[in-house]
Amino acid sequence: MTGSGSLPTPHPDPADAVGPVGTAGPAEAVRRTVIVSGVASDSHTWNLIYLQMLVEELGYDVVNLGACVPDDLLVRECQARRPDLVVLSSVNGHGYQDGLRVVEKLRAIPALGETPIVIGGKLGVRGAESQERVGRLLAAGFDAVFDDRADAVVAFRGFAAVLPGRAVGGLL
């Protein structure tokens, strides 16, 4: 899907998803792909729609996996698509637990060893996260944790704007 002006649609089923290379012209063959996804227990989607648009506006192709994405579906999609960035979002308060579990599964895949993976949103049920819990998420394999603070989106935009290229990201 390319950043087009109209509202995004998800790619619930990889079979009917339009791959970034298929939609990009030859000059754009190097357009980079970002996977935006909810986590297993979280059904919120406005956050995903918003993040998809935001990332598209930065010039990436986005595959939005939607809400309540089971761990194996996320792993399969990341393995198949080799994205340049994986953005997990959770606001229901279980993001800490869902995120810890799934990032270990993602990092266990050799091809995803170097892929930037970030998580953000409302990750617990008590508001802002403790340093300790953020530290555990980072230790488990996230490159960045965008806790629900006023500057989270600005910080994320800065992070996503300067992603290393494909070759540097080791994805070719």
Smallest gap from residue 86 Cβ to ligand B12 (A): 10
Pick between residue 82 and residue 157 the one whose CB is nearest to another protein.
157
* b/e per residue 152-166 (b: at least 16 CB within 10 A): eeeebeebbeebeee
66 binds, among ligand B12, another protein, none (CB under 5 to 8 A by kind): another protein
- 131 contributes a contact to another protein by CB under 8 A: no
Q: Are 78 and 88 within 8 A, CB to CB?
A: no
- 9 contributes a contact to ligand B12 by CB under 6 A: no
Collapsed DSSP state (helix, strand, coil) of residue 140: helix
131 binds, among another protein, ligand B12, none (CB under 5 to 8 A by kind): none
Pick between residue 78 and residue 91 the one whose CB is nearest to another protein.
91
Joined tokens for residue 90: 């959770």
Residue among 18, 23, 30, 57 that touches another protein (CB under 8 A): 57
How far apart CA 40 and CA 119 sit, in angstroms, is 13
- 45 contributes a contact to another protein by CB under 8 A: yes
The C-alpha angle 159, 160, 163, rounded to 5 degrees, equals 95
Binding residue count for ligand B12, defined by CB under 6 A: 24
The residue among 101, 96, 109 whose CA lies nearest residue 145 is 96
Partner residues linked to 88 by β-bridges:
37, 119
Pick between residue 119 and residue 171 the one whose CB is nearest to another protein.
119
Joined tokens for residue 122: 């409302």
Question: Which chain residues interact with another protein by CB under 8 A?
Answer: 5-7, 9-10, 12-13, 40-43, 45-46, 48-50, 53-54, 57, 64, 66-69, 92-94, 96-98, 101, 122, 124-128, 148, 150
